A and B are shown apart, each in its own frame.
Chain A
Amino acid sequence: MSLDKFSALTSRTMVLPQENIDTDQIIPARFLTTTSRKGLGKVVFYDWRYDEDGRPKNSSVFNGVDPQTHRILVAGSNFGCGSSREHAPWALVDFGFRAVISSDIADIFKSNALKNGLLPVTVDEKTHAKLLASPGAEVTIDLETLSVTLSDGSGTTFEVEAFARRCLLDGVDPLGHLLNQLPAIEAYERAHA
């Protein structure tokens, strides 16, 4: 299983300004009984998009955007806090997102996102505020140069853990990397038996 490569992306943003958007918002627990990774886009942010009878909420920004043209999610700080469910990035990717920008992204979510071709981008407060204030803005994210650029030319740089970046750029599979370490793992086991 090799990952989809990711190098640069230009797309419009969808903005969810709320802070502390937790994984129960991204995908409510009642949808976690699946045994597949696929098809979760239809339940992403379900309770934000639909009312208790399953009717689309007019107030939801989700119901006004086309996931094909809005592939960047801009969210309030501490995005993805809460559980370790990888269903959260699976659902976001299945919906159409390829990147999430926030001023602060939770550790486990970040790690899970990177393994699924969803790029977590942490930016400074100023850039964050500007992005939050301009829903639908066209933004370019370049993983080669680690830069985020707005259409007015302003922008900033961001960091991605080096190994995860290589996995995304070159389509390297982390499990393959680990399997290559088996001799060292066996030696460790012998020494600690």
Chain B
Amino acid sequence: MRPQSLFDKLWRRHVVVEETPEAPAVLYIDLHLVHEVTSPQAFSALDERGLKVRRPDLTFATLDHSTPTLQADASGRPPYATKDAEAQVRTLIRNCEKHGVQLLNLGDPRRGIVHVIGPELGLTQPGKTIVCGDSHTSTHGAFGALAFGIGTTEVGHALATQCVLQRKPKSMRVIFKGLPPDGVGAKDMALAMIAEIGADGGQGYAVEFAGEAVSALSMEGRMTLCNMSIEAGARFGMTAPDEKTFEWVKGRDFAPKDDDWERALAEWRRLPTDDGASFDREVTIDATNLKPMITYGVSPDAAAPVDSRAPAPETDSEREAAAYMRFNPGQPFSEIAVNRVFIGSCTNSRLSDLREAAEVMRGHKIAKGVTALVVPGSEAVKRAAEAENLHRIFIEAGAEWREPGCSMCIAMNGDKGAPGELVVSTSNRNFVGRQGQGVRTVLASPATAAASAIEGKITDPRPYLSAAKEARHVA
């Protein structure tokens, strides 16, 4: 048989009805993740037609977007930003009760950001098709799954039929050659990739990330990379499953057990792309030259090394972006003052991200006038971080340690910046107003965000990281 890519294999295994010129394929969905923002209208669509959720056992809901990250008051009531936010949360609770959908409700020790809890609970597994009404669903592709974001109408389709209509996208492979230098991580690789192919470079493609640097990444790192595929326009991002993947999944709540595990493992080992498989497009990025990256514009492809200077805008859109960001051409990024730092989001809120930020912050204070928010991705991440006393490092440095949720990534739960403020953020979108009206967002890794909090300026984290490494050796 013709050599096949990971994507080909995942696609083929889930086709219920082949696509024709007249109609897209009917694709079976193994796991449907649901959250409060993109589901209410989908549940109403079902109710209007008298339909039930077809496979509540394959549907899993969590609360993350509109939920407060401040603790409940004495009466136990969480401090919702608005009445609408509270109503939205209640709507999901009601819909899940009515349709028998499992929900990680507020107070559930397993609750968290949808793309953090899937892998954490072992719901996310190699070989699965996974959808969610959320464009960062590609995160789960890090496990060798076919995971993609859908709109609310399609959420309704998946609820009612456990299938979606989808044409097979084209395929692209992005190969990171060699290993990145010290101090350069998955977020930097992601930003470098987006800068390379552009915010629409992945439009219409399913992207497989491969190469030495990708194999060397931890599972968390691979999730960060796949998470950002959509920022290059690609709905699907994935990496081949390997021993690290299996190690991650093994023993988690929803992972296969005993004989099932052995059977699953045998299947998963057959998933990686065959030698000689072809792709519609291939891009190679030299990982050995990469540096810590930041963004300087209002689109994630406006990314550059942290130790460089703001480029001169060339197009009208770039001029508008530069005016919004108030970066002068030729100005070193290291001179740009920071008002606020956000460490969190489904891109960078897992334990390894918090460890990275804590390593930089340990023993330092954040600069005067700078506020920093650290928001763990899930209750489990929060517990694990607290068990290692990471929260103390943040609090002692002067940062706030919050309850899990999307928080300032999307700024719809009340956590946001003030107009004109510059926020260094570990999230995934630097769009105008994404973190509050008039807020200027600079995307960066947890280490860069932490270093920038300490210095009150956009800061290269590498000196901090090597000092921390040295301190570890001495100790």
Q: Show the binding face of A for B, using Cβ within 8 Å.
A: 1, 17-20, 22, 24-25, 28-30, 32-37, 47, 52, 76-78, 81-86, 104, 106-108, 111-112, 115-116, 161-163, 166, 174-175, 177-179, 181-182, 184-185, 188-189, 192
* List of A residues within 8 angstroms of B45 by Cβ: 1, 175
Decide yes or no: A30 and B412 within 8 Å by CB, A112-B151, A178-B163, A178-B165 being known contacts. Answer: yes
The CA of A111 and the CA of B298, in the complex, are separated in Å by 24
A20-B84 contact given A1-B49, A116-B153, A178-B160, CB 8 Å threshold: no
Q: Kindly identify which residue among A20, A82, A111, A163 contacts B151, using a CB–CB cutoff of 8 Å.
A: A111
- Pair A82/B17 contact, Cβ less than 8 Å: no
Q: A181 near B16 (CB under 8 angstroms)? A: yes
Is B410 located at the chain interface by the 8 A CB criterion?
Answer: yes
Known: A19-B317, A82-B429, A84-B134. A33 touches B82 (CB 8 A): yes
20 contacts between A and B (CB under 8 A): A19-B299, A24-B429, A33-B37, A52-B419, A81-B200, A84-B133, A104-B203, A106-B203, A108-B149, A108-B235, A111-B151, A162-B21, A162-B23, A175-B156, A178-B26, A178-B163, A179-B161, A182-B161, A185-B16, A185-B28
10 additional contacts (CB under 8 A) given A112-B151, A185-B162: A1-B48, A1-B49, A33-B85, A81-B199, A86-B151, A106-B203, A107-B203, A111-B154, A181-B17, A189-B162
Instruction: Give residues 420-470 of B contacting A (CB, 8 Å).
Output: 429, 431-434, 437-438
Residues of chain B in range 1-40 having any CB-CB distance to chain A below 8 Å: 16-17, 21-24, 26, 28, 37-38, 40
Interfacial chain A residues near B410, Cβ < 8 Å: 29
The residues of B that contact A83 with a CB separation of less than 8 Å are 134-135, 149, 429
Contacts of A185 in B (CB 8 A): 16, 26, 28, 161-163
- Contact between B24 and A35, CB atoms less than 8 A apart: no
A86 touches B320 (CB 8 A): no
User: How many Å from the CB of B360 to the closest CB on chain A?
Assistant: 29
Q: Does B66 contact A (CB under 8 A)?
A: yes
B404 contacts the other chain (CB 8 A): no
Chain A residues whose CB sits within 8 angstroms of the CB of B433 once the complex forms: 24-25, 28, 47
Task: Determine whether the beta carbon of B23 is less than 8 Å from that of A107.
Answer: no
A108 to B82, CA, bound (A): 28
Contact A29 B317 (CB under 8 A): no
Question: How far, in whole Å, are A104 and B438 apart by their CA atoms in the complex?
Answer: 27
B449 to chain A, nearest CB (A): 20
B392 within 8 A of A: no
* A102–B27 CA distance with the chains assembled, in angstroms: 29
Contact status A18-B320, CB under 8 Å:
yes
- Tell whether B122 is near chain A: CB-to-CB under 8 Å: no
* Distance between Cα atoms of A28 and B161 in the complex (Å): 31
Chain B 123-138: CB-based contact to A (< 8 A → 1; otherwise 0): 0000000000111000
Contacts of A184 in B (CB 8 A): 16-17, 26
Task: Let me know if A107 and B204 touch, CB within 8 A.
Answer: yes
A47 in complex: contacting residue of B23, B150, B233, B432, CB < 8 Å: B432
Q: With a CB–CB cut-off of 8 A, which chain B residues contact A108?
A: 135, 149-151, 230, 235
B75 within 8 A of A: no
Task: Contact check, B161 vs A78: say whether CB atoms are below 8 A apart.
Answer: no
Collect the chain A residues with CB atoms within 8 Å of residue B156's CB: 175
A29 x B412 contact (CB < 8 A): yes
Tell whether, in the assembled complex, residue B38 and residue A85 are in contact, meaning their CB atoms are under 8 Å apart.
Answer: yes
The answer on a CB contact under 8 Å between B151 and A174 is no
CB distance from A40 to the nearest CB of B (A): 11
How many angstroms from the CA of A190 to the CA of B88 in the assembled complex?
36
How far apart are the CA atoms of A116 and B235 in the complex, in Å? 20
Whether A20 contacts B157 in the complex (CB less than 8 A), given A32-B37, A108-B151, comes out as no
Complex-state Cα separation, A161 to B321, whole angstroms: 33
CB B320 to nearest CB in A, in angstroms, measures: 7
Neighbouring B residues of A163 by C-beta, 8 Å: 22-24, 165
Quick check: A177 and B412 within 8 Å, CB to CB?
A: no
Please determine whether A178 and B157 come into contact, CB atoms closer than 8 angstroms.
yes
Assuming the contacts A115-B153, A179-B161, asked whether A32 and B412 have C-beta atoms less than 8 A apart, the reply is yes
Are B160 and A86 in contact, CB atoms less than 8 angstroms apart?
Answer: no
- Report B296-331 CB contacts with A as 1/0, cut-off 8 Å: 001100000000000000011100100000000000
Closest A residue to B148 using CB positions: A108
Query: Does B171 make an interface contact (CB < 8 A)?
Result: no
Shortest Cβ gap from B444 to chain A (Å): 19
For residue A33, which residues in chain B have a CB less than 8 angstroms away from its CB? 37, 66, 82, 84-85, 87-88, 412
In the docked arrangement, what's the CA distance between A36 and B87, Å?
11
Tell me the smallest distance from the CB of B362 to a CB of chain A, in Å. Answer: 33
Question: From residue A6, how far is it (CB to closest CB) to chain B in Å?
Answer: 16
Q: Which of A1, A85, A178 has the most CB of B within 10 A?
A: A178
Chain B residue, CB-CB nearest to A37:
B41
Taken residue by residue from 72 to 94, chain B's Cβ proximity to chain A (1 for < 8 Å, 0 otherwise) reads as 00000000001011011001000
